Structure 1
Amino acid sequence: MNATVEKFDWKLTIRANIIKLKLVGLWPSGDDTYRPNWYTLWAAISIGLFIYAHNFFQVVNIVFIFDDLQAITATIFVTLSELLTILKTYCMIQNMGILKRLMVSLNGDIFQPKNDRQKRLVQPSLTFWKVNYVLFYVMSSGAIFFWAAYPILDNSVKEHRLPFLAWYPYDTKISPFYEITYVYQIFSISFIAVTTLSIDTLIGALNMYIGAQYDILCDDLKHLFDAEDSSMDFYRKLVNCVKHHRAILRFAEDSNSFFNWIVFLQFFISTTSIGITMFQLTVVVPFSSEFFSLLSFGLAITVEIFIYCWFGNEVEVKSNNVAYAVFQSDWTNAPIELKKLLIFFTMRTQTPLKMSALNLFYLSVDTFVRILRTSWSYFALLHQVNSKK
């Protein structure tokens, strides 16, 4: 790598994401994993109190209202998404060593842009991830705001109605238990939202980084024979490209092993949640606070799935460009031995890399469209059943 080129900090793009993960107890400082210290204690208390306990109270309530289909429908789409946060936090804690290694390797020399041209080349991917990051947070913040406010805006606070239906081992209609529980629910859902959004956008960032590395690799291959006098320089650059390609594959394999189960269950839960949310929008009072909370939640879930599928799709598209990048270089004047190596390398890179969920569902735009179609089918079924009543 050219020594005159300032080192590119890949983690700078996701700095805000890492800060949020630190706040919720899911990112130990430095390159370490969890150790017996105060931070680990904070992680156990915060995750246990605001994620596990909040989910427990809601699940117990579902057991009590299991015979009430309308009440179940009104709560299950949110509860399922909240329950998935338990799996996400478990996968984060379980794979923290892998994630920290990924961050270290990301800023290693082999993943560094070689020049300003390559820095400009990867910038659109970084910017697009930031746009989706902000959009995801805006939609989720809107849902939380309306969930927190609609008992007040609908004057149901006088009836001591809570933002979320849940069971508690005390009477929540008595002051100050009502106020304390109200604040606890809002703080818990905010904590869950920050946790979920940070993990989801981190997964999107990992896929975005893989795609950006393929951009750099393709650029190196296109300029393989530029401004070099010695054939040995060609061999050295090709060897570096091979090492870079292998490093990308290792990075992708570790990333996929981290989010396999998360994406697999997220696809199923999001499909159901989007369908039920669309149905709920047809039965609540239009343009009420509850209506806007449902609309924001539905849009947030859609953006969440889009982040998974779009950046996963980018990995497949950009990895497919490697073989073509070789032939876009000035290879015709290369030594015959080097041409043979180029052909061998091209054959090894003809199969595009696909990010998947347990090798059952690929992260692609096609999968995103199928999820939306399935959600619409669920909505149509629920709407048809409800119209016959």
Structure 2
Amino acid sequence: MDKYDWRANIKMNILVLRFLGLWPKGDGTYHGFYIFHVTFMMTTFLMGHLFFQAANIYFIRTNLEAVTGTIYVLLVESLVVFKVYHLIKNMGMFKQLLRILDTEMFQPKNNTQILAINETVRVWKTIYKSFLYTCFGTNMFWAIYPLLDKSEGERRLPFLAWYPYNTKITPLYEITYVYQIVSVSFITTVHVNVDVLVAALNVFNGTQFDILCDNLINLHNLDKNGTLGVRENLITCIKHHKEILKFAERCNNFLNWILLVQFFIFAVSIGITMFQLTLVIPFSTEFYSLLTYGMAIILQIYMYCWFGNEVQVKSNKIPYAAFQCNWVDFSPEVKKNLIFFIMRAQKPVKLSALNLFYLTLDTFMMILKTSWSYFALLHQVSSRK
């Protein structure tokens, strides 16, 4: 049976990150021209864009509507800095996780297992494409709504920002306009591809439990050499389970701080986005930009929570899969080992953010409820003025 290529599913994401300066070749170390490349990209299109937006908050600090109009985007854009730092810092570990997937123990053993993997990957690709289209749909609305909105009778930029020159005159206005769109497209591309790669790791983690469950159910069919073959196969399954748990722990170590900061920022950003929707003209271009932006953030949270929840659900199936095998004809020693394994596998794998909250659908609903609370607070403060 041909070796399954896990990387083929994320090949495009890796190529995009390599172009952006975030995926060096080899063991993950940055050296030579690539250091200059990543420094230029991050400084020009990330840090520069964030600085000009953050500086503008000082000049509009007394205007609640203007401040929220900047912060709801600035918070999510600032999150990219945090993600980039952790991706660069843990690049070696990230690549090691991909190498582990290529080992024999993590490979599917039959066509049924490959079909299960492909089905999960298909769901991942569907969510990925929906997330991608929503993000760049948001960018498109951001790019065109200042050109269509003539209500203020002056030139507007897609984002509120301060610059040390007059952005109302040609060609500085056009240059600044293009710079903002290119910068936010760069930031969006980093967001999408990093989040999709992390989700893919959770997908691969979950599919390992699918493989293990299938191996356990067919424990007596994996080898035709009788009881001795069953015993060896059970030992292999136990070792596989231990390696999956180690893989999940390493994934969680990479996710810990990213999830903690990201979920807090997303809860605030969704609340502010809903508040902004109450301030703009309904069904205008700016309205649709805010709407698609909110949908993109919700999809982003959902992608993390859904596939984290899938890891928990699939890991919880292991004891049942072990019980489904034809254990009646096993030797007493094998039965004893099988019982011990079932007892050890009772605790499902839960991915978490520093053990404060878990990647589950319940957490997704909790974030949405928190966002609504932020929205209600802002709406109440604004209505009193």
* Distance change >3 Å, CA 283–CA 158, structure 1 → 2: closer
**8 Å Cα contact 1:34-1:40 kept in structure 2:** no
- Mapped partners of 2:7, 2:31: distance in 1: 26
Q: TM-score, normalised by structure 2?
A: 0.97
Following superposition, the deviation at residue 87 of structure 1 comes to 0.2
Q: Paired residue for 2:30, among 13, 29, 35?
A: 35
**Map of 1:46-195 to 2, 5 A cutoff?**
46-155=41-150, 159-195=154-190
- Mapped partners of 1:62, 1:32: distance in 2: 41
Query: Partner amino acid for 1:303?
Result: L
- Mapped partners of 2:250, 2:325: distance in 1: 31
- Mapped partners of 2:125, 2:319: distance in 1: 29
**8 Å Cα contact 2:270-2:297 kept in structure 1:** yes
- Aligned pair 1:356/2:361, yes or no? no
Following superposition, the deviation at residue 157 of structure 1 comes to 9.4
Report what 1:196 is aligned to.
191
Following superposition, the deviation at residue 65 of structure 1 comes to 1.7
Report what 1:15 is aligned to.
11
Q: Paired residue for 1:289, among 272, 285, 300?
A: 285
Match of 2:109, SS?
Answer: coil
Q: Paired residue for 1:252, among 234, 248, 253?
A: 248
Query: Partner amino acid for 2:49?
Result: H
- Mapped partners of 1:91, 1:35: distance in 2: 14
What CA deviation, in whole Å up to 9, does each residue of 1:278-337 have, x standing for no partner? Answer: 121122001111000000000000000000100000011111111111100001110111
Following superposition, the deviation at residue 14 of structure 1 comes to 1.3
Following superposition, the deviation at residue 341 of structure 1 comes to 0.8
Match of 1:366, SS?
Answer: helix
Following superposition, the deviation at residue 13 of structure 1 comes to 1.2
What CA deviation, in whole Å up to 9, does each residue of 1:103-145 have, x standing for no partner? Answer: 1111221111001111012222100000010000111011100
- Mapped partners of 1:25, 1:142: distance in 2: 24
Identity %: 52
- Mapped partners of 1:251, 1:274: distance in 2: 32
- Mapped partners of 1:387, 1:71: distance in 2: 15
- Mapped partners of 1:157, 1:110: distance in 2: 64
Report what 1:221 is aligned to.
216
Structure 2 spans left out of the alignment, 5+ residues: none
- Mapped partners of 1:157, 1:336: distance in 2: 83
- Mapped partners of 1:359, 1:365: distance in 2: 16
Q: Paired residue for 1:237, among 233, 238, 261?
A: 233
Matched length: 384
- Mapped partners of 1:228, 1:21: distance in 2: 46
Following superposition, the deviation at residue 210 of structure 1 comes to 0.7
Report which stretch shifted further, 263-272 or 222-231: 222-231
**Map of 1:268-287 to 2, 5 A cutoff?**
268-287=264-283
